[in-house]
């Protein structure tokens, strides 16, 4: 076992990170000790522990892992997942001059935190399609706990070869629709056959990734954008069709109706090149009521 202490440039509100991560019941969160555990696949499957010991203005973290041979990869992975590689200051400064300045003041220091992998993000996004958040989380939890693996309190999504072999009837018993069951199994089959190579995504453009993903059964623009946002941490993604974002904009601009696509396209011109942060903070304004 090893430990490493990392200092990050503030502002960085780790308490808000834990709050948002706790929405997913599969995540291991210890609020009292400011701890989250993440799955990591290196020389072995292991749970890595991230503990916040600093403040929003002076963030400090202790990372704990199992195998010294994986240490550098774990640290790189953690920096990417938690957006420690770049400062939030320039993003705050950018939005301070926009009509979203009020929610950026309220949620200052909230980073865009990624899912543990592109693969888990894709499966989770497909499961969550057209469902309310509560049932989507329950359905995802049933799927992962039925077919995945738990290591030291941390759940790993089932491997593609496992997903590819699941009979659709079994997912129906978990309350998947027939189509959603087929979509999830189809992802596993495409990866196993080599038709879908998620390892190529980091080197591809947003447009190229969307083009690949929407060819999959059951994957439309909303799901593809979620993968770009939370699977890859791309910085300029704004899912116009997302109901939560539409409701947040309605609230932000005191509208009696949801905004039109044309209105949203006009507003987002001023928010580029950080549309992903506009999306995140609008979601936060709905999740927290602020």
Tokens standing for 196? 């879908």
The catalytically annotated residue of 92, 206, 236, 242 is: 242
Cβ–Cβ under 8 Å, residues 153 and 37: yes
* Range(s) within the chain of domains with CATH label 3.30.310.10: 2-86
* Range(s) within the chain of domains with CATH label 1.10.340.30: 118-231
From residue 277, alpha-carbon distances to 97, 184, 247, 266, 274 in Å are: 14, 28, 16, 17, 5
pLDDT digits (tens, 9 = 90+) for 91-140: 999 999 999 999 999 999 999 999 999 999 999 999 998 888 889 999 99
Q: State the Cα–Cα distance between residues 284 and 194, nearest whole angstrom.
A: 37
**Active-site residue 242, yes or no?**
yes
CATH number of the domain at 2-86, please? 3.30.310.10
CATH topology of domain 118-231: Endonuclease III; domain 1 (1.10.340)
Q: State the Cα–Cα distance between residues 61 and 55, nearest whole angstrom.
A: 10
pLDDT digits (tens, 9 = 90+) for 163-187: 999 999 999 999 999 999 999 999 9
The pLDDT, as a whole number, for residue 86 is: 87
């Amino acid at each position: 076992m090893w430990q490493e202490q990392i200092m990050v440039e503030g502002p960085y509100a780790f308490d808000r990170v834990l709050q948002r991560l706790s929405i997913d019941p599969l995540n291991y969160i210890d609020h009292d000790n400011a701890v989250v555990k993440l799955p990591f696949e290196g020389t072995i499957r292991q749970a890595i522990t991230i503990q916040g010991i600093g403040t929003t203005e002076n963030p400090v973290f202790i990372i704990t892992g199992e195998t010294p041979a994986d240490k550098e990869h774990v640290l790189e992975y953690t920096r990417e997942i938690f957006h420690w590689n770049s400062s939030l200051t320039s993003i705050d400064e950018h939005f301070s001059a926009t009509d979203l300045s009020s929610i950026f003041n309220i949620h200052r220091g909230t980073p865009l935190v990624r899912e543990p992998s592109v693969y888990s993000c894709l499966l989770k996004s497909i499961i969550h399609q057209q469902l309310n958040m509560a049932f989507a989380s329950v359905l995802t939890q049933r799927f992962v706990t039925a077919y995945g693996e738990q290591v030291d309190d941390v759940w790993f999504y089932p491997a593609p070869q496992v997903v590819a072999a699941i009979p659709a009837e079994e997912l129906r018993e978990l309350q998947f629709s027939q189509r959603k069951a087929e979509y999830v199994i189809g992802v596993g089959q495409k990866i196993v056959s080599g038709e879908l190579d998620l390892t190529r995504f980091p080197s591809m453009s947003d447009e190229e990734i969307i083009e690949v993903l929407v060819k999959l059964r059951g994957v439309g623009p909303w799901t593809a954008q979620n993968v770009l946002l939370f699977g890859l941490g791309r910085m300029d993604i704004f899912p116009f069709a997302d109901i939560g974002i539409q409701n947040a904009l309605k609230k932000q601009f005191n509208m009696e109706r949801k905004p039109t696509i044309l209105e949203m396209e006009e507003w987002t011109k001023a928010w580029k090149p950080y549309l992903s942060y506009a999306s995140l903070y609008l979601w936060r304004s709905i999740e927290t009521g602020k």
